[in-house]
Chain A
Amino acid sequence: MNSEVIILVIDDEIQIRRLLEITLSSESYKVLEASDGKSGIIAAATHNPSLILLDLGLPDEDGQSILIKLREWYTNPIIILSVRNSDEDIIRALDNGAIDYLTKPFRIGELQARIRSALRLAQSANNSSSILTFNSLNIDLVNHVVKRNDEILKLTSTEFSLLVLLAKNAGKVLTHQYILKEIWGHGYIEQTQYLRVFIAQLRKKIEDDPADPLYIVTESGIGYRFQG
């Protein structure tokens, strides 16, 4: 089944491309390579890959503008792979439509997991199920019921909205501003303390060990990501 999944790698470093080709092919993905932005866009248009791994530092054009151009018509997940690790760059890339990011150097295992959850997210967007299940966590979107190990959790309405927002975007990094905007509204995008408090409360309720959270992962300085 995986043989139909095409991953496009847009990166100018031959070593990185080679490494990704070897490791991802072994996972039965079909890997296409592009060494600059222009050929990357052409490859994306001709092959319509299931996922794109995009480097931000490209020789011909800035990765951010490639990202914007791709997003005009390309709807599958784009994951950023970059040595740039400043928060501003990452947030901008996420705002521009990237689903996730990884800074070089990265663990291959980590990348594979991210690719998997990105692909799953893309698939789940198609089937609009009313119940989301993650391991022992069960979220009933219609009835507003959250169960952990079949035990009903008491969540406030804000906590529930927050959890649903995160869970619906499982695998995707959501920035603080995005979450604040979605849950509290545009007037609250600077009130990160609200978000902190609710995340902490939510973790206490849904996580086995809030000090070592499994579901809601903190992305330092960026936001949160819900892990399936």
Chain B
Amino acid sequence: MTQEMSRPNPDELLASIKLDEERSNRGKLKIFFGMCAGVGKTYAMLKAAQVEKLKGIDIVIGYIETHDRKETNQLLHGLEVIPPAINEYKKVLLKEVDIDSIVSRKPEVVLVDELAHTNAPGSRHTKRFQDVMEILDNGINVYTTLNVQHLESRSETVSQITGIVVRETLPDEIFEIADEIELVDLTPDELLQRFSEGKVYSPGQSQEAVRNFFRKGNITALREMALRIVADRVDIQLRQYMQQKRISGPWKSGLRLMVILGASTESVSLIRWAKNLSYTMGATMLALYVEPAKKLSPVQQEKLTRNINLAKQLGAEFISTSGVDYVKAILNIAHKENISHIIIAKPRRRNFLSLFRLGNYINQLVQHSGNIDVYVMGSNITGDEKYQKYSTLPSFSSGFSQYFLSGIITVLLAIAFYPFKNLIGYQVVSFAMLFMISILAIFYGIGPILLSATLCALCWNYFFIPPEFTLHIDKAEDVLMLVMFFTIALLNGILTTRVRKQEKLTRDREERTSALYHLTRDLSLASGMNEVLNVSVSAILKFFSLESAVILQGGNNELHNEIRHESKLKLNESDMSIASWSFFHAGKAGKFTDTLPSSSFTFYPLTGSKMRLGVIAIKHLNAFNADEEIFWDTFKTQVSNALEREFLNDLAIRASILNESEKLYKTLFNSISHELRIPVATIMGATDTLMSIDYNKETYQKLNNEIFTASERLNRLIENLLNMSRIESNRIRPHMDWHDVNDLAAKVTQSLRGELQNFNVELVIPDDTPLVKFDFGLMEQVLQNLVYNATQYAAKGTTIRIKIYYDSHHCYLQVMDRGPGFPPDTIPFVFNKFYRVEGTIPGGTGLGLSIVKGFVEAQNGSVTIENRQNGGARITVKIPSEKPDFERIETPNKE
């Protein structure tokens, strides 16, 4: 039982293997970590570099900031410095890490100071840590420095403690992927000492701020934070170690934490706090966004996007969902994702509309969460930001015209009923008004309904309920009726609007589903790369209203330098280099991203399950919102899959062609080299003998015969090869003309006179055989090959029958022998080039019959093989031909 328990969870094991794999290819990252500026991180890093250098390690400086401190400058001695890239921005020259030079220099270790630095606009990446990541990806180890306040998840706390807003932050992920963290520690007293000696340089802050910062309380807090992070990390490493070695520990495995984020600033601290928690718990983190029914304002949208990016940067997996019922939506996802902890923000203030709900959503969430722990975070941010309502209530978003019209309609209705009030009674009027409100609710939002309900109540009270023309009501039941009227009207309106909202959500989702369905269908129907691209690009235009361009890789894992479809997008050279970057790093780049955001296009890599395919460039005016992003991702995946399918197809075809030519080469080599060498050997041997040895007349004659036979064999082989290459290259242009088949037969039997002399040749051509249209040269070769084959395989003295006749628009040409015939299972293959039936006599290339087939087919004919009843083979060539037109044949000659 305990054995069972101590077995590592396969998922975790896999994760740790994956981590190992990733790390083995990548360079190692060592961070010199400190609590704040001035603790001596750069100094420690350079010192370590000097030690490595002494060990003979190729270590260079990629970027260093010594702030001209003497001790630090001294440590630079003997270290190679790769000059930084210099960018001009607003007439100021800014130095940044020169990634390309470092990569091409390819040292073992490179020093890059100040990991959290933000690059100048126009640089390749917005942040230096991205530069470092790229260097690491190229297998180069990096030494760098970092302060605790720059960690995304800690910056919030730091600014709370010190009052300084930390702008240069970087995702915690980089801290986690670091292979080594070296804590550079100093006691607060020592640091303050150094500060007062002016040895601490703090950029970008006013003197006052800096003085405020360097207080003992602050420094102690920061120090604690730094120490804790390092301690936590050690703890995690210990756990990883135990996991690998299957040592049981007290940890709870498989914790999954989900943070519910919103479009408010307070979500930021929520996400950071959740990250800290997940890190210490060793839990994976998910971030969930529940889309409200109401559309977000651009400001909110921007905040939301930032929050989502933050969550992603902190290593959270992001999910978005929609649903009118906020709590249900959260719990759905939580169950599906097997969440153990939900982290959610406390609603800031209660809204009067929440009166209509049965308790707020936090209560509901706690009530229904079952065994999921729910952490409710308090918020400390006050200000003009409004609490984002995910309420089940519809929102006030209707236009002015709706208010106006609903008011007018209400008043008109009241006026219309006024004359009849004595006839039908004032109670009935209230029903009519309720009816009208119900109808209005179908078309208008909640605001106009509220207005309309209030107006109705007032009108009814003032004009209809006695005493008329006063708001005073005599009877208690009328008061009750008025209250009930107002409530019913309002509820009616709210419910209807809610149904409508839900309906709209469903419709939106349906639209997307159907869009994806159409795309999938079209893509599966598309055949060939170009069609897939066309379908994709037009689908993007149709469903996203975006112009796009696809750049594919050229089969060598390098991006082709051309756009692979007709696009309205004009990508220049620098855009192409961004595309390349996106392709190689399998990350998005360009506008609205952290990498090269100065471009006017956004580039998304197209990655299939087995290979990288290319990059798609789109031009958007606004960044995708969370929902669109997910839709776009799915869309992209479909396109990638289809492209991958085509790519793999192409590769398979190419591979099979290669395979085929390999095979051809082998057969050619084996068969031809044999066929060429034998006659050459014969000729050389025979002539050698003739030159050197005394021979009698008979030997002389025999040797001469051998030489002649060998040359004929060579000649035939060459002829066959040339003919084959004519067929293969599709170079045959048959010259179809009228010919006498007798002429053909005579010609062939004459040229094969030698071979045929030992056979009984039977030539059968009916007297009434008309002239036939064919290419004489080709047919001569065909018949010659067939007859020659017969002489090679049939026994001497047997009959070879050549029969030519004309029947119903076709000329038939048959060659029959009494040889061994063809083994039935080989018949389908005998026309393949270089195919030879096993066990047949040596000599021959296996080209004869394939040439026959090629030449016959060039004349639109066909050829068949069958075995004759009493042994032997019959080969029939069938050529389509009309009878010639002879109407003027007896025209007297000109004499």
Contacts and interface: CB of A to CB of B under 8 A. Distances in A.
Contact of B777 (A105, A184, A220): A220
Contacts of A48: none
Contacts of B890: 158
Contact of A193 (B711, B735, B742, B771): B771
B891 A197 contact: no
B884 interface: yes
Nearest to B889: A194
Interface in A132-181: 157-158, 161
B750 A197 contact: no
Interface string A193-205: 1101101100000
A218 B776 CA distance: 10
A139 to B, nearest CB: 15
Nearest to A182: B894
Contacts of B531: none
Interface string A67-98: 00000000000000000000100000000000
B643 to A, nearest CB: 47
Given A196-B771, A211-B763, A221-B776, A157 B740 contact: no
Contacts of B742: 200, 210-211
A65 interface: no
A196 B743 contact: yes
Interface string A206-222: 00001111000010110
B137 interface: no
A144 to B, nearest CB: 10
B739 A184 contact: no
Contacts of B715: 105
A218 B771 contact: no
Nearest to A211: B746
Contact of B750 (A194, A199, A212): A212
A211 B802 CA distance: 13
A192 interface: yes
B780 A105 contact: no
A185 B891 CA distance: 10
B892 A211 contact: no
A194 B888 CA distance: 9
Contacts of A194: 886, 889
A184 B894 contact: yes
Given A220-B747, A221-B735, A221-B777, A183 B771 contact: no
A31 B745 CA distance: 38
Nearest to A212: B746
Contacts of A185: 893-894
Interface residues on A, range: 20 to 34
Nearest to A195: B738
Given A105-B711, A196-B738, A220-B776, A183 B893 contact: yes
Contacts of A184: 891, 893-894
Contacts of A211: 742, 745-746, 749, 763
B737 interface: yes
B743 A200 contact: yes
A217 to B, nearest CB: 9
Contacts of B743: 196, 199-200, 218
B68 interface: no
Per DSSP, are chain A's interface residues mostly helix, strand or loop, or mixed?
Answer: helix
A219 to B, nearest CB: 9
Nearest to A209: B746
B230 to A, nearest CB: 85
A158 B893 contact: yes
B384 interface: no
A156 to B, nearest CB: 9
Interface in B699-747: 711, 715, 735, 737-740, 742-743, 745-747
B735 A220 contact: no
A1 B715 CA distance: 36
Contact of B740 (A199, A212, A220): A199
Interface in B615-668: none
A184 B893 CA distance: 5
B71 interface: no
A192 B885 CA distance: 11
Nearest to B746: A211
Interface in B840-895: 884-886, 889-895
Nearest to B781: A220
Given A193-B738, A211-B745, A218-B747, A87 B894 contact: no
B769 to A, nearest CB: 10
Contacts of A210: 742, 746
Interface string A110-125: 0000000000000000
A197 B893 contact: no
Interface in B277-327: none
A157 B892 CA distance: 8
Nearest to A183: B893
A197 B746 contact: no
Nearest to A190: B737
A218 B746 CA distance: 9
B763 to A, nearest CB: 6
B602 to A, nearest CB: 60
A183 B889 CA distance: 12
Contacts of A218: 743, 746-747
Given A87-B777, A193-B771, 5 more contacts: A158-B892, A161-B893, A185-B893, A197-B740, A220-B780
Interface of A: 87, 105, 157-158, 161, 183-185, 188, 192-194, 196-197, 199-200, 210-213, 218, 220-221
19 contacts: A87-B735, A87-B777, A105-B711, A157-B892, A158-B893, A183-B893, A184-B893, A192-B739, A193-B738, A193-B886, A193-B889, A196-B740, A197-B886, A210-B742, A212-B746, A218-B747, A220-B776, A220-B780, A221-B775
In the complex, the 10 A-B pairs of residues with the closest C-beta atoms, listed nearest first? A193-B738, A193-B884, A221-B777, A196-B740, A221-B776, A158-B893, A200-B740, A193-B771, A185-B894, A218-B743
Interface of B: 711, 715, 735, 737-740, 742-743, 745-747, 749-750, 763, 771, 775-777, 780, 884-886, 889-895
